[in-house]
Structure 1
Amino acid sequence: MKAPNRSTAVMQRRIEPHDSLEYFPTPPWATRAACELLQTEYGEPLELQRAWDPCCGELHMVRPMREYFAQVHASDVHRYSLDHGIFDFLDEGAMPPVLDVDWIFLNPPFLPAHRFIERARRIARRGVAVFARSAFTESDGRYEPLFSPEQRPACVATFCERVVLLKGRLIERNKPDPFNLDEDGTPKKASSATAYSWIIWRGTDHDTRHRWIPPGTSARLTRDGDYPDYSHLFPQPAGALL
């Protein structure tokens, strides 16, 4: 007899607020790839610079950023973690909690992303690095404020391998996703058909370079402890050894 499909019950126990605001955590290796690109392509001395992630979620971008930057400030509009500040980045009337920052890194919600980017560019002294779907550069409406000749980014770096983003949880690519079960109750492997890129605005450099983040980068830049252990959310099968 087939095991019952626990997907509905399991999804209700996922650690994700009901108003998750398009929360799709970024794999840490993808953030390390952006930091390496800034160092190798532009010679940015990140170890002397300050950065800010204003939509930090559970700090999956912030932690790898702290491996490279001298200081990283973390905030979000929602309380995802006890380890970050609360700030609505889109509230133009609110004074930012930190102003003296060189870089702003962010994986913003898709629809208001242009508003995040425009404000970030007004605040950051050196540049803004945005993790987004590669299709983000195709919009007619985003052309004038973000991609016209006077506004173009310095670099678009395309991932050659898929970066897996899942709503409300962080699962390593091709590893079992306990929140997505097949009809037998077996976790499916985490995968994605969506292409992602880093889009980087850097000062007055509007001569856009296109770079590629090569295959194998995920294996090279993944570290122990990068991915949460969700096993405690699932009951042990009857008779399982403890």
Structure 2
Amino acid sequence: MVPVITRGHTSVMANRRDEESSKGLFCTPPWATRALIEEIIKRFYGDVSGQTVWEPACGKGHMSVPLAEHFARVFSTDLVDYGFGDGVLDFTFADAEDAPWPVDWVIFNPPFPLAEAFARTALTIARVGVAALVRLAWQEGEERYRLIWRENTPTYFCPFAERVPIIEGVWDPEAGTATAYAWAVWRIGQTPEFPPLVHISPGQARRRSKLSDLALATPGEAKRRRLAREQKAETGPDLFGGGDG
């Protein structure tokens, strides 16, 4: 068992821990963390061998272990005790005093619903940089657009050209995935001269639609198809081989 860090927020932390346990553990392939360091951090930030890093969603160590290959010290915590790391801690309520020493980097693969909260906390703690492994879909969403892409714009947003297979509970090198991932990276104290992405801001459907567009539309078709799918699911497959011809 790893120690529990309980500096305040105990009841909320317990609720979050129960919630996260029900969602399961998703382990990052170690090579994905090495790719961040070798392809992005060393390229744009330089050597980190004398620096420190906090990994606040450490799980079973799949990210912390490769981080330890490059950083001088790694502080590993998680919301749930998976038998690895330096303590159990709700990072969404953390601050710099929770770390045993000043933290240069915060690097993590966050629980998807808490990704924005993790990023915002990390940006108040790290002295050099923050990196979050997120789904490519993290670019989307009106609330995320405001909280991250407008107020806390990443310095770099680095999608993987290949897929990063992440499955529940373990890391399996033979796994596959249809989900695309990217590293969002922030340099502390630096506002990007150019944004890493040019967003088409929310509200375009409302602002850019015209009444004349209805001549091109087929209203009700999406609902018809949805109902047809539901009906097919209820009746089940044709076991007697009936076809279209």
Q: Fold match, TM over 0.5?
A: yes
Q: Deviations over 1:156-206 (max 9, x none)?
A: 11111111000111100xx2xxxxxxxxxxxxxx21011000000112132
Aligned to 2:28: 26
Aligned to 1:101: 103
- Is 1:89 matched up with 2:76? no
Contact 1:56 1:76 in 2 (8 A): yes
Q: Hey, what's the Cα distance between the residues in 1 that align with 2:172 and 2:182? A: 19
- The one of 178, 182, 188 equivalent to 1:193 is 178
Report the CA distance between 1:138 and its aligned residue: 1.2
Contact 2:93 2:121 in 1 (8 A): no
SS of the counterpart of 2:123?
Answer: helix
- The one of 128, 131, 137 equivalent to 1:129 is 131
- Is 1:205 matched up with 2:199? no
- Name the structure with the higher strand share: 1
Report the CA distance between 1:40 and its aligned residue: 3.9
Query: Do the aligned partners of residues 72 and 97 (structure 1) sit closer, same or farther apart at CA in structure 2, a change above 3 Å counting?
Result: same
Q: Deviations over 1:15-73 (max 9, x none)?
A: xx992544211000000000113444313221011001011000100000111111111
SS of the counterpart of 2:152?
Answer: coil
Contact 1:38 1:44 in 2 (8 A): no
Aligned to 1:73: 75
TM-score by length of 2: 0.67
Report the CA distance between 1:151 and its aligned residue: 2.1
Aligned to 1:9: none
Larger relative contact order, structure 1 or 2 (CA cutoff 8 Å, min sep 6): 1
Aligned to 2:212: none
Report the CA distance between 1:155 and its aligned residue: 0.4
- Name the structure with the higher helix share: 2
SS of the counterpart of 1:198?
Answer: strand
Code of the residue aligned with 2:57 in structure 1: it is: C
Code of the residue aligned with 1:201 in structure 2: it is: W
Structure 2: unaligned runs, 5 residues or longer: 1-18, 198-245
- Is 1:161 matched up with 2:147? no
Contact 2:59 2:84 in 1 (8 A): no
SS of the counterpart of 2:134?
Answer: strand
SS of the counterpart of 2:75?
Answer: strand
Aligned to 1:43: 45
Report the CA distance between 1:139 and its aligned residue: 1.5
The structure with the largest alpha-carbon Rg is 2
Q: Hey, what's the Cα distance between the residues in 2 that align with 1:53 and 1:161? A: 24
* Length, aligned pairs only: 177
Q: Deviations over 1:72-111 (max 9, x none)?
A: 1101111112443111112358952345111100111111
Alignment map for 1:195-234 (pairs within 5 Å):
195-203=180-188, 204-206=190-192, 207-209=194-196
TM-score by length of 1: 0.67
